Amino acid sequence: MDLTKNFVKAKRPCTDGFRWFLRHYQEGSDYQPLLDALVEAGRVNDACWLLEQFGPTDAVLSVDSINAVAIVFAGTLQVRGNIEADSIVRAGRAIRAGGGIRAGISIIAGEDIRVGGGIRCEGDLEAGGDIRAGWGLDVHGAIDCQGDLRAEWDLVCGGNLSIGGNAIVGQEITAKGAIQCGKSLRAGGAITGFDRIRAAHGIESGATIFCHRHLEANWGIKAGGAIIADGSIKAGESLQALEEIRAGEGYGVYAGLLVQCDDWEASAQVRSASKPARLMSGWWAESCSV
């Protein structure tokens, strides 16, 4: 793609960025070489702006490893080893690495992010498709995954955690912001949210589920430990915990919200070590031994 000065000007770039372009590329430039030049000149934000304006390409960059201040690539990054960047790792399409990814500011892919190792980011992590990590995710900012998210180890998120599809994590999930899952949320260990937790399908934890605000799922909620929230606990179907189920002071516990009352005994059971206080709906079965 040949980017002429008139073509770039039509996108209304900032004055300083357009002056830089005219000084260095008066006759225009190919797309990816211009992205590379902007990054090399320390104008990483301008490179990201350019990618947002002109979109992804089908190009593939296949290398053994990447160790750079930043990388902005319009196509797919295919790296056999690790990707390390002091600031930004960004691809118009997918990011694939046989090792892990570390970035000082953000990691953004227009499509999937798939790594054999872990993902560590000091800022936000965004993917237009799936995120899959052979190890864990340690993200200090927000995570926005439009597809499914899968990690074999822990998932630690310093902001809001938003997943468009299913989230399957081998160990613990911890999020400092709200957790929003478009399908099912499942962890082999504890799930801890310092804000609201909501799943359009079900929530399942191998240990305790703890939520600092409201906990909600349209299907069932199941925990290998306790289910505890500082707000309300709402399940469209059943609630099951090996230990206690406890809502916040003044809030209720609701099961079977999406089930007819006549079907509560079969599809809206509430099982825990003791009957929850303020159980507002659902069928109290017995203590849970599973």
pLDDT score at 17:
55
Residue numbers of the domain that contains 260: 58-284
Residue 18 lies in a domain: no
pLDDT at 204: 98
- Per-residue model confidence as pLDDT tens digits over 257-285: 999 999 999 999 999 999 999 999 999 99
- Mean pLDDT on 8-24: 55
Residue 121 lies in a domain: yes
One-character DSSP codes across 229-281: ESS-EEESS-EEESS-EEPPTT--EE--TTS-GGGHHHHSEEESSSPPTTEEE
pLDDT tier for residue 32 given thresholds of 50, 70 and 90 = confident
Is residue 143 one of the residues assigned to a domain?
A: yes
What is the count of structural domains for the chain?
1
Question: Could you tell me if residue 9 is inside a domain?
Answer: no
Specify if 71 maps to a domain.
yes
Would 267 be classed as within a structural domain?
A: yes
Within a domain: residue 210? yes
Q: What would the pLDDT profile of 114-158 be if each residue is shown by its tens digit?
A: 999 999 999 999 999 999 999 999 999 999 999 999 999 999 999
The pTM for the full model equals 0.92
Residue 242 lies in a domain: yes
